[in-house]
Protein backbone atom coordinates (compact mmCIF):
# COMPACT_ATOMS: atom_id res chain seq x y z
CA UNK A 1 0.00 0.00 0.00
CA UNK A 2 1.43 3.35 -0.97
CA UNK A 3 0.81 6.50 0.95
CA UNK A 4 -0.65 9.29 -1.15
CA UNK A 5 1.08 12.63 -1.15
CA UNK A 6 -0.87 15.49 0.36
CA UNK A 7 -0.58 19.14 -0.55
CA UNK A 8 -0.73 21.36 2.51
CA UNK A 9 -1.46 25.08 2.27
CA UNK A 10 0.12 27.07 5.07
CA UNK A 11 -0.97 30.63 5.70
CA UNK A 12 2.21 32.57 6.37
CA UNK A 13 0.47 35.10 8.64
CA UNK A 14 -0.69 32.25 10.84
CA UNK A 15 2.80 30.79 11.01
CA UNK A 16 4.02 34.19 12.18
CA UNK A 17 1.27 34.30 14.81
CA UNK A 18 2.20 30.80 16.01
CA UNK A 19 5.82 31.90 16.18
CA UNK A 20 4.79 34.93 18.23
CA UNK A 21 2.93 32.63 20.62
CA UNK A 22 6.01 30.43 21.04
CA UNK A 23 8.26 33.49 21.47
CA UNK A 24 6.07 34.81 24.29
CA UNK A 25 5.79 31.36 25.89
CA UNK A 26 9.59 31.02 25.72
CA UNK A 27 9.93 34.46 27.28
CA UNK A 28 7.76 33.46 30.25
CA UNK A 29 9.60 30.16 30.66
CA UNK A 30 13.07 31.73 30.60
CA UNK A 31 12.00 34.60 32.85
CA UNK A 32 10.31 32.57 35.60
CA UNK A 33 12.07 29.20 35.48
CA UNK A 34 14.58 28.80 38.26
CA UNK A 35 15.67 25.27 38.98
CA UNK A 36 17.46 25.25 42.27
CA UNK A 37 17.32 21.47 42.37
CA UNK A 38 13.98 21.34 44.14
CA UNK A 39 11.85 21.00 40.97
CA UNK A 40 10.60 17.52 40.22
CA UNK A 41 9.00 16.45 36.92
CA UNK A 42 5.53 17.30 38.19
CA UNK A 43 6.67 20.79 39.22
CA UNK A 44 8.17 21.38 35.77
CA UNK A 45 4.99 20.12 34.10
CA UNK A 46 2.79 22.42 36.20
CA UNK A 47 5.14 25.34 35.58
CA UNK A 48 4.89 24.79 31.81
CA UNK A 49 1.08 24.65 32.02
CA UNK A 50 1.11 27.94 33.95
CA UNK A 51 3.32 29.60 31.31
CA UNK A 52 1.13 28.23 28.51
CA UNK A 53 -1.99 29.59 30.23
CA UNK A 54 -0.36 32.98 30.80
CA UNK A 55 0.60 33.15 27.11
CA UNK A 56 -2.89 32.03 26.08
CA UNK A 57 -4.42 34.78 28.23
CA UNK A 58 -2.36 37.37 26.37
CA UNK A 59 -3.52 36.01 23.01
CA UNK A 60 -7.16 36.03 24.11
CA UNK A 61 -6.85 39.82 24.07
CA UNK A 62 -6.26 39.47 20.30
CA UNK A 63 -9.26 37.18 19.90
CA UNK A 64 -7.39 33.87 19.64
CA UNK A 65 -7.92 31.31 22.41
CA UNK A 66 -5.25 28.63 22.68
CA UNK A 67 -6.05 27.88 26.34
CA UNK A 68 -8.25 24.85 25.71
CA UNK A 69 -5.93 23.26 23.17
CA UNK A 70 -4.46 20.69 25.55
CA UNK A 71 -2.89 18.66 22.76
CA UNK A 72 -0.91 21.69 21.62
CA UNK A 73 0.30 22.41 25.15
CA UNK A 74 1.34 18.79 25.67
CA UNK A 75 3.26 18.66 22.37
CA UNK A 76 5.09 21.93 23.07
CA UNK A 77 5.92 20.65 26.54
CA UNK A 78 7.38 17.41 25.15
CA UNK A 79 9.74 19.38 22.92
CA UNK A 80 10.65 21.84 25.68
CA UNK A 81 11.13 19.06 28.22
CA UNK A 82 13.45 17.12 25.94
CA UNK A 83 15.42 20.10 24.63
CA UNK A 84 15.53 22.47 27.60
CA UNK A 85 14.12 21.34 30.94
CA UNK A 86 16.11 18.09 31.07
CA UNK A 87 19.31 20.11 30.77
CA UNK A 88 18.21 23.03 32.99
CA UNK A 89 18.90 25.22 29.99
CA UNK A 90 15.95 27.56 29.48
CA UNK A 91 17.96 30.20 27.67
CA UNK A 92 15.60 32.54 25.83
CA UNK A 93 17.71 32.88 22.67
CA UNK A 94 18.14 29.12 22.33
CA UNK A 95 14.45 28.45 22.85
CA UNK A 96 13.30 31.11 20.41
CA UNK A 97 15.92 30.02 17.85
CA UNK A 98 14.83 26.40 18.17
CA UNK A 99 11.14 27.18 17.69
CA UNK A 100 11.68 29.78 14.97
CA UNK A 101 13.66 27.23 12.98
CA UNK A 102 10.95 24.64 13.50
CA UNK A 103 8.13 26.97 12.42
CA UNK A 104 9.96 28.51 9.46
CA UNK A 105 9.20 27.63 5.86
CA UNK A 106 12.27 29.60 4.75
CA UNK A 107 14.76 27.13 6.22
CA UNK A 108 15.83 24.07 4.26
CA UNK A 109 14.14 21.15 5.96
CA UNK A 110 14.35 17.41 5.82
CA UNK A 111 11.20 15.32 5.55
CA UNK A 112 10.87 14.90 9.33
CA UNK A 113 11.16 18.65 9.92
CA UNK A 114 8.46 19.30 7.35
CA UNK A 115 6.15 16.77 9.02
CA UNK A 116 6.78 18.38 12.40
CA UNK A 117 6.05 21.84 11.00
CA UNK A 118 2.79 20.60 9.47
CA UNK A 119 1.79 18.78 12.67
CA UNK A 120 2.32 21.89 14.80
CA UNK A 121 0.57 24.07 12.22
CA UNK A 122 -2.48 21.81 12.36
CA UNK A 123 -2.44 21.81 16.17
CA UNK A 124 -2.30 25.59 16.34
CA UNK A 125 -4.97 25.84 13.64
CA UNK A 126 -7.49 24.05 15.86
CA UNK A 127 -7.62 27.20 17.99
CA UNK A 128 -7.33 29.74 15.19
CA UNK A 129 -10.03 28.30 12.91
CA UNK A 130 -12.65 29.66 15.29
CA UNK A 131 -11.52 33.22 14.53
CA UNK A 132 -10.94 33.06 10.77
CA UNK A 133 -13.30 32.00 8.02
CA UNK A 134 -12.11 29.54 5.41
CA UNK A 135 -12.76 32.16 2.71
CA UNK A 136 -9.94 34.28 4.14
CA UNK A 137 -7.37 31.73 2.96
CA UNK A 138 -7.42 33.13 -0.58
CA UNK A 139 -6.76 36.64 0.74
CA UNK A 140 -3.60 35.71 2.66
CA UNK A 141 -0.06 34.99 1.57
CA UNK A 142 0.27 31.21 1.46
CA UNK A 143 2.89 28.63 0.69
CA UNK A 144 2.38 25.10 -0.56
CA UNK A 145 4.21 22.16 0.98
CA UNK A 146 4.06 18.63 -0.37
CA UNK A 147 4.11 16.05 2.35
The model's pLDDT over 46-59, given as tens digits with 9 standing for 90+, comes to 999 999 999 999 99
pLDDT, tens digit, 9 for 90 and up, residues 90-142 = 677 888 888 888 888 777 678 888 888 889 999 999 888 766 655 454 445 55
Q: Which backbone phi and psi does 145 adopt, to 5 degrees?
A: -125, 135
> Is 24 domain-assigned?
yes
The structure's pTM equals 0.80
- 26-51 mean pLDDT: 85
Give residue 123's domain range.
Answer: 7-146
How many distinct structural domains can be found in the chain?
Answer: 1
> Taking the CA atoms of the chain, what radius of gyration do you get in angstroms?
16
Looking at the domain assignment, is residue 133 inside a domain?
Answer: yes
pLDDT at position 140 is 54
Amino acid sequence: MTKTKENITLIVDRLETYGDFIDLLSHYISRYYIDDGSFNKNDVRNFHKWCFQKTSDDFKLEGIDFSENETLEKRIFKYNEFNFFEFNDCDLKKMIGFWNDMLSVDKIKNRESIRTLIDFYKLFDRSVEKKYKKSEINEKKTCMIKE
